[in-house]
Structure 1
């Protein structure tokens, strides 16, 4: 089975960014591109409750009506999804992708992606979905669940595409981030793009040794790499470095026990992801 770039499309304003970033990634990786739309046909519980405390015959009639409405809503959602997939495919072709595929599935987004993850080389997803589109202070709940469930690289993208010209990897010497450095060294995704390796912590011999390893690994892979060790609070230090160096894509590990990877642990979403104006590539 050919691993592909898979991009989730919905009715949110992030879908244009998803289209353009996935088209870029597909071409850079030389991997097929598939757009996915998931129709979530969960029961409309609140509406069913409207039938309470009325005569039995009327209640049965109302339930029949609600059932028909649900069926109509499902058909409308499927047709809307087909139109969105058609538009995404056309946009990707304009971006230079030769033959993007489209898929529509019924179910929940998280369960569907979990089923399909063996087919993924990279998942591209918007920062928020259509139901959370206006809430700029929070991540979409779907994104949090997807990150916790999948074991594939996930590229979280903003509204507007900008071709990456400087990449930063938040590095802590952990197994996940070392694997990330090795992946970047071999991947064509950032070919010709400088990669900054940043360790947040004290200038110690161990940190310097970890940084030297990361830089050598990247440079051996033909990557233009530079590095820094910065003391301070993790999120604020990384954001300051990002702004200082004009970083337009951040790579980081999703989970773990280190200070950097604790950013995604717990029920509270982090400032790093909430405030992100650039894409974040999350590694597992």
Structure 2
């Protein structure tokens, strides 16, 4: 199996530049290869109406032939457009310091493609904004939630313009899944040298404070500058409010388990959180 790599999903959205920049940053932090992927989704085939009874068989065959030619030209143009986007992305990540990016163009559904190559992926980078045809109001790619639900790899969802991460906010609820996520962070160079703030949303009990302090001490022992806090309130409001107070560059969350964090990440409010965040989200799987 090839070396696990950072994989950046490239499309025609306004998030493309940030995806390239964050993917390049992650690749350099992890000292891992960077692959740029553009997936050509299957075109929806609309069967032409049966007009033989009104315009004659010969005319109908001519129409079908012209439609087939149009589909073929459209498919070719989409391949060429995808290659142009990949070439521009490769040029950008080279400017960011990645010397030899891997460029891939695949056909199929994005989720299926990512599942096929999941074993090769160390970190997936996607933009929250989908292609230009997506609703401007949603600000979330049409397949992003499906990818989050399906893949079992860390996913970095970009938001806004690139800013070199220096301060990180970690949503901590003392669940086994989140503690496992912190273990992965401690073993990874991705956040090495960054300042980390642990935030627990809920009641400030003795048990909660003890668990939070134990994780803060463990982070400090591993060389991180770490702080911790417990706040009550709505999870989304508290996290985003704390992010702004700290001017954190990245929010880290667990995306598995059955905690309150799990419920809002892959439950009914996933899209709302992705809409509201003003900085990237690193979802730990």
| Shorter-chain TM-score above 0.5 | yes
Q: Which moved more, 1:26-35 or 1:184-193?
A: 184-193
Summarize the Cα distance change of 1:52–1:266 in structure 2 as closer, same or farther, 3 Å threshold. farther
Report the CA distance between 1:65 and its aligned residue.
2.0
SS of 2:260 mapped into structure 1: coil
Aligned to 1:199: 200
Show the counterpart of 1:208. Answer: 209
Structure 1 residue 271: Cα displacement: 2.8
Corresponding residue for 1:258? 259
User: Shift in Å at residue 73 of structure 1?
Assistant: 1.1
Which position in structure 1 is the counterpart of 2:168?
167
Deviation at 1:259, TM superposition (A): 1.4
How far did 1:98 drift?
1.4
Question: Quick check: 1:185 aligned with 2:172?
Answer: no
Match of residue 78 from structure 2: 77
Residue 141 (structure 1) aligns with = 142
- TM-superposed CA distance for 1:116, in Å, is 0.9
Structure-1 residue corresponding to 2:120: 119
Give me the whole-angstrom Cα distance separating, in 2, the residues matched to 1:215 and 1:113: 35
> Scaled by the length of structure 2, what TM-score is found?
0.93
CA 1:224–1:133 in 2, change beyond 3 Å: closer, same or farther? Answer: farther
Deviates more, 1:64-73 or 1:110-119: 64-73
Distance change (3 Å), C-alpha of 1:269 and 1:30: same
Structure 1 residue 5 corresponds to structure 2 residue 6: yes
User: Gaps (5+ residues) in structure 2?
Assistant: none
Bigger CA drift: 51-60 or 254-263?
51-60
* Residue correspondences, number: 281
TM-score (normalised: structure 1)? 0.93
Taking the TM superposition and a 5 Å limit, the aligned residue runs for 1:1-284 are: 1-45=2-46, 48-49=47-48, 51-55=49-53, 56-133=57-134, 135-284=136-285
- CA distance in 2 between counterparts of 1:54 and 1:269 reads 49
The SS at the match of 2:198 is: strand
Identify unmatched segments of 5+ residues in structure 1.
none
- More deviation, 117-126/180-189: 180-189
RMSD (Å) for aligned C-alpha atoms: 1.7
Q: Report the Cα offset of residue 255 of structure 1.
A: 3.6
Map Cα deviations across residues 46-89 of structure 1 (whole Å, 9 max, x no partner).
Answer: xx34x344544433332222222111111111111111111111
